[in-house]
């Protein structure tokens, strides 16, 4: 099941030069909420928040993702996953990562510290479960890569072309896990908050395990200065489900939406 929760966290989350605050697609205070649907059935909720914090005496971003089942899905297979990342605002790389997973009978609490000072050419990761690992210097965790991906889209505009691939190497469940997303074009998405013009991406996923093929998931990011994750759809062997933006606050830039009769 880890592929599902990995991608849901990505919503449901190349090293660039540090951008000025005016170019920032996110900021502390951003709060996003999503609904998970299995057809017409609501199956869960997800919340993602970014706030200011300190770590080892330095100012950092603190990102918190909470995903949980509700209703019938909660009765059949209860899930409560909490991911946290402490992110250096200058390098946009994680300094600490926490995964607190409760998925049915599966329980796992994993803390990873990222040391980029001890070695000049690589990072040293210390996991409470598996010990020390030496990786590439610009390694991300599952939450920091979500924000970094938004900056990556911004850096590619206005020359983003169909077929362009964005690849980010992450550390997830104490393993190297590359995230690859291919741009497929513009689309308009209907959400609870209104219609939103979006950039559409297909993650290159591994077929034969959870997804039907390598294009078994689709992501939509707002085509404005926020590059906000708006919707995710998964096509897996047991069916399809979607994750839809239901509310937001504290965005760095106004969200470009067309109001509908479904607005809050």
Q: In this predicted structure, what is the pLDDT of residue 262?
A: 45
Q: In this predicted structure, what is the pLDDT of residue 152?
A: 87
Q: In this predicted structure, what is the pLDDT of residue 216?
A: 67
Q: In this predicted structure, what is the pLDDT of residue 37?
A: 87
| Model pTM score | 0.85
Q: In this predicted structure, what is the pLDDT of residue 154?
A: 87
Q: In this predicted structure, what is the pLDDT of residue 219?
A: 92
Q: Which of the residues in the chain have pLDDT under 70?
A: 1-22, 205-216, 235-239, 259-264
Q: In this predicted structure, what is the pLDDT of residue 176?
A: 92
Q: In this predicted structure, what is the pLDDT of residue 215?
A: 60
Q: In this predicted structure, what is the pLDDT of residue 65?
A: 96
Q: In this predicted structure, what is the pLDDT of residue 2?
A: 46
Two structure tokens written together for 112: 């990873």
Q: In this predicted structure, what is the pLDDT of residue 60?
A: 98
């Amino acid at each position: 099941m880890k592929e599902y929760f990995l991608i849901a966290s990505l919503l449901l989350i190349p090293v660039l030069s540090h951008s000025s605050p005016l170019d920032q697609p996110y900021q502390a205070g951003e709060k996003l909420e999503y609904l998970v649907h299995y057809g017409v059935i609501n199956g869960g909720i997800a919340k993602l928040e970014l706030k200011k914090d300190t770590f080892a005496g330095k100012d950092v971003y603190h990102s918190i993702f909470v995903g949980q089942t509700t209703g019938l899905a909660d009765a059949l297979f209860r899930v409560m996953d909490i991911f946290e990342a402490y992110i250096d605002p200058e390098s946009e790389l994680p300094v600490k990562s926490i995964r607190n997973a409760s998925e049915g009978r599966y329980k796992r609490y994993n803390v990873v510290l990222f040391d980029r000072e001890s070695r000049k050419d690589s990072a040293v990761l210390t996991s409470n479960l598996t010990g020390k690992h030496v990786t590439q210097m610009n390694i991300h965790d599952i939450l920091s890569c979500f924000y970094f991906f938004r900056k990556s889209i911004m850096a590619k505009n206005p020359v983003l072309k169909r077929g362009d691939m964005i690849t980010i190497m992450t550390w997830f469940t104490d393993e190297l896990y590359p995230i690859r997303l291919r741009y497929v074009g513009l689309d308009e998405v209907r959400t609870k908050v209104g219609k939103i013009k979006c950039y559409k991406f297909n993650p290159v996923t591994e077929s034969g395990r959870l997804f039907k093929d390598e294009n078994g998931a689709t992501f939509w990011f707002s085509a404005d200065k926020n590059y906000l994750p708006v919707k995710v759809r998964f096509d897996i062997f047991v069916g399809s489900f979607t994750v839809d933006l239901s509310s937001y606050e504290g965005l760095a830039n106004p969200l470009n939406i067309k109001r509908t009769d479904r607005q809050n």
